[in-house]
Each structure stands twice: as structure tokens, then as C-alpha cells.
Amino acid sequence: MSDKLAAIASVSGTMNNVIYDNCNFTNSIPVLEIHGTADVVVLYLGLDDFGQFQDLMAIEDVVDFWVNYNNYILDQVVELEVLNLGDFSMVTRFSYTGGLNGSSVELYSVNAAGHT
């Protein structure tokens, strides 16, 4: 569906190994991933044996998939300012740029946050 999608944004989502192994876009696509490192529903580190012949990919593997697919390079890592001091969550933004057609991949890793 690469001819129908302009971008992908995922909040607390991942790819299973079947999609990961068979995803064949024909053009570059910007990707935004937002995920809590303490998510117990969709694990940040992935999950083996999720279902029959399926594994859930680790979030960093999913981001690496899109980074490699689009020939991006890590451009910037930024610790974002904490706006809510009561939740103790820090957000780290990883920006990957310089790839095909000027698009980018962004990962917002919400440290110590769950499936929110």
C-alpha cells in the first residue's frame, strides 16, 4: 500500500515478524513511533511466541527496519523537557534523517511509561 500511504504513526504499536519479513514498500515513507519503555501490553523489547508462528518485534527493531529501508542516519538524540513532574517520565526523541525523498523517522521513547 505504499502508493496509498503518506506516512505511518504508531502509538504503543509494533510489527509482527510476518509483516516485518514481508513488508515491501516501493517508495520512502515517514514514520513516527511513540512507545513507553514499561509497556506491558505491547512490550518495548518485543515478545517471542506471541501467537502461532508469530513474534512481536522490539520497538527499536521496528525503527531500525524503517531507518534501513529509507537509508536514514541518526541525526539527533534529544531528552525532552519534563512538563509533568508528577509522572516521572522522561522522553527521548531519536530523529533519523538524510534518507530518500527528504522524509524522516522519529522515535519518541517514553522512559518508564506504560501503555498510555
Show pLDDT as tens, one digit a residue, over the chain (116 residues).
Answer: 677 888 999 999 999 888 888 888 778 889 999 999 999 999 999 988 766 667 899 999 999 999 998 888 889 899 987 766 676 678 999 999 987 778 899 999 998 888 87
**Residue 101 in domain:** yes
**Whole-prediction pTM value?**
0.86
Look at residue 40 and tell me if it is in a domain: yes
Please report the pLDDT score of residue 87 as a whole number. Answer: 67
Residue 3 lies in a domain: no
Q: Is 103 domain-assigned? A: yes
Our count of domains for the chain comes to: 1
Domain of residue 19 covers 8-111
Backbone angles phi, psi at 67, to 5 degrees: -60, -50
Domain-embedded: residue 116? no
Q: How far is CA 20 from CA 24, 57, 59, 76, 106, in A?
A: 9, 8, 12, 25, 18
pLDDT at residue number 38: 92
| 1 part of a folded domain | no
DSSP-derived 3-state class of residue 13: coil
- Asked if residue 2 belongs to a domain, the reply is no
Residue 67 inside a domain? The answer is yes
pLDDT score, position 4: 83
